[in-house]
Structure 1
Amino acid sequence: MDLQVLRSFQAVAEGATVTDAAAEAHITQPALSRALNRLEKEAGAELLQRVGRVLQLTPAGRVFKEYVDSVLDSYDRGLRAVAEVVDPDAGVVSVAFLHTLGTWLVPRLVTGFRESAPKVRFELHQDGEIGLVQHLLDSTADLTITSKDPGHPLIAWRRLLVEPLWLAVPARHRMAQRQRVRLAEVAGDPFIVLKTGYGLRSVTETLCRQAGFTPVVGFEGEEVETLRGLVAAGLGVSLIPASSGTTAGEGNPLLPIRYLEVTDVDAARDIGVACLASRTLPPVPRRFMDHALSATADSRGPLAPGV
């Protein structure tokens, strides 16, 4: 069976039209239709059925697609491995990462790695915690850089660093002239948080519970910079990663914000790198993972019990 037919079947199964899949394969639409029919004859079952104007997988097609995905993924990884044997300094690293890490950690790691491997290309994806897990399970990323261990049986996670969190308050907030604060002291304030599914949201809720309260959500955003802007506007308080280089009490002069150290709970989050436990990483992604662990070796802090 031609691998291109399997790729076309995969594309149609994932929502592409036969016309678009044929164009991608550089063949005519009737030719691709005939090829898909031959594939169904070889499989001995109807794999696709027309529902309205689109083709959808049959139950047999869903089972078959799992194996097609595995075959194509193995073949593509084989091509990558051969290319990296031929030229060890080239290759591709596919990394998915949290939105909040795209302004500092990921650029720092990529820049440092490319100093010794300038020919390596990066495919980068941003997502929330749930999406990062799916990137690994779907093999659309070699590695993810995320916060806490996802706790998935198929995923191996290693800590890179411990990132402090500050409590950001408006410049005119009643606590703004202080350097430190107990999180419980702002239990009645509205919290500006990221949407559900983002790691920082779950960390915020966990820390508030540890401080003895459930946060009142004033706004849900998708970017940390949005949280900063709304805190500056006086709409609430927020737990903000200290990754931007801010220190307690200091803020961006363009934003009237104060950053306070939290003293009653351990206001920090783990940042780690994850990959599929059962998959052998290609050489270049493996080297990048080793680089990430080495580059952050002094920033990990003590391991929690059982980690």
Structure 2
Amino acid sequence: MNLATLQTFIIVAEKKNLSLAAQEIHITQPAISKQLSALESHFGAALVERKGRGISLTPAGEVFYRHAREIVDLINRAERDIRQMSGEIRGRMIVWASTIPGHYILPPIIGAFKKEYPDVQLVLQIGDSKEAIRKLLEESAHLAAVGMMPNNKRVEGVKFFSDELVVIVPPEHPLAARPEIYLQELAKYPLVWRETGSGTRSVVESYLARGGLTPDKLNIALELGSTGAVITAVEAGAGLSVVSRWAVLKEQALRKIVTIKIKDYPMQRDLYLVYPRRKNKSPLVEAFIQFALKQTPPA
């Protein structure tokens, strides 16, 4: 029994079809059957049952599959850790990001990083800030890019960009002709807001609270689950909103949206790259952070 045999069994168990498994690992079906027979002889028990063109695992096969998966995962982890000890910038990194960094900031940075480090595989997943941090704490992500620094001793982070938040209205709105408004004026109009858990919403509401606008004084007409949906609703005349300037660069250029600054409480927030608090970060995570810090934000 060797690693290749374990990997073959795992593929067969997951594909539930010898033909598909053979295509996946580029060997013949008879070669797979021979490996399965060798495993069954070793354990003295049937591991698979053939059902027409498909196969299913026996109870013994289910037990062996779980252990085989654990063994292969441990070997893969050992290989990754040894590569990291050597300082190689390679491997797979999962980044969870909130809407603004995920949609507007990270994609060009990831593209440029990939050109410099072609052996790296980067996966970008997008949710709200709370979900991104939760994925990091669950060890389902190596890095999180969010609009607020979490108050959690298990993580630490570094500021990588500053984001300006602006009021947005459709061109026909009464406020559209004004470059600036006062914070209290927001209470006079229907608002289109992000959902609870959004980093943008948290930052905006903290600014509003400083100016005496608590949530009970706001006319929140809509709560939507993405910045894109908020912008579309504002375009349609559902109300005004406060979003990242980067999120509306395209709509502003097309004159579908007008941006307005708040005169008495200019809204800015920092964006952070957050990672698990450890003595040493992996070379890949460290390389990506240093690369991102050198980049220029969108115009």
With normalisation by structure 1, the TM-score equals 0.70
Using the alignment, how far apart are the partners of 1:111 and 1:148 within structure 2?
24
**CA deviation profile, 1:191-234 (whole Å, cap 9, x unmatched):** 11111111112122222212221332111112212111111111
Query: Which stretch of structure 1 is more off in the superposition, 192-201 or 278-287?
Result: 278-287
* Amino acid aligned to 1:92: R
Percent identity of paired positions between Structure 1 and Structure 2 = 21
Quote how far apart the aligned CAs of 1:114 are: 2.1
What are the ranges of 5 or more consecutive residues in structure 1 without an aligned counterpart?
4-19, 39-68, 300-307
Contact 2:89 2:119 in 1 (8 A): yes
Distance verdict in 2 for CA 1:149–1:184, change over 3 Å: same
- AA aligned to 1:195 is E
State yes or no: 1:275 paired with 2:275: yes
2:95 aligned counterpart, secondary structure:
strand
Over alpha carbons, which structure has the higher Rg?
2
For 2:98 and 2:88, locate their aligned partners in 1 and report how far apart those are by CA, in whole Å.
Answer: 29
Post-superposition shift, 1:242?
Answer: 1.0
Matched, 1:88 2:88: yes
2:239 matches 1:236: yes
Q: Deviations over 1:56-114 (max 9, x none)?
A: xxxxxxxxxxxxx9x99876543223345679353222111012223321112112212
State how 1:93-104 maps to structure 2 within 5 Å: 93-104=93-104
Asked if structure 2 preserves the Cα contact closer than 8 Å seen for 1:189 and 1:237, the reply is yes
Alignment of 1:63-78 (within 5 A): 76-78=76-78
Residue identity opposite 1:185 in structure 2 = E
Residue pair 1:142, 1:281 contacting (<8 A) in 2 also: no
Q: Partners in 1 of 2:76 and 2:249 — Cα distance?
A: 43
Residue among 226, 235, 240 paired with 2:229: 226
Deviation at 1:167, TM superposition (A): 0.3
Paired positions, count: 251
Cα gap change, 1:37 to 1:287, in 2 (>3 Å): closer
**1:171 aligned partner:** 171
Residues 144-182 of structure 1: per-residue CA shift (max 9 Å, x gap): 111111111101021112100110012222211011111
Q: Residue 23 of structure 1 aligns to which amino acid in structure 2? A: E
Partner SS for 1:246: helix
Say if 2:132 and 2:144, in contact at 8 Å, map to a contact too: yes
Matched residue of 2:188: which SS?
A: coil
Go from structure 1 to structure 2 and tell me whether the alpha carbon gap of 1:264 and 1:21 turns closer, same or farther (over 3 Å shift).
Answer: farther
**1:275 aligned partner, one-letter code:** Y
Partner of 2:114: 114
Distance 2:255 2:282 in 1: 45
Query: 2: CA distance between counterparts of 1:86 and 1:186?
Result: 55
| Residue identity in the other structure for 1:180 | E
**TM-score normalised by length of structure 2:** 0.72
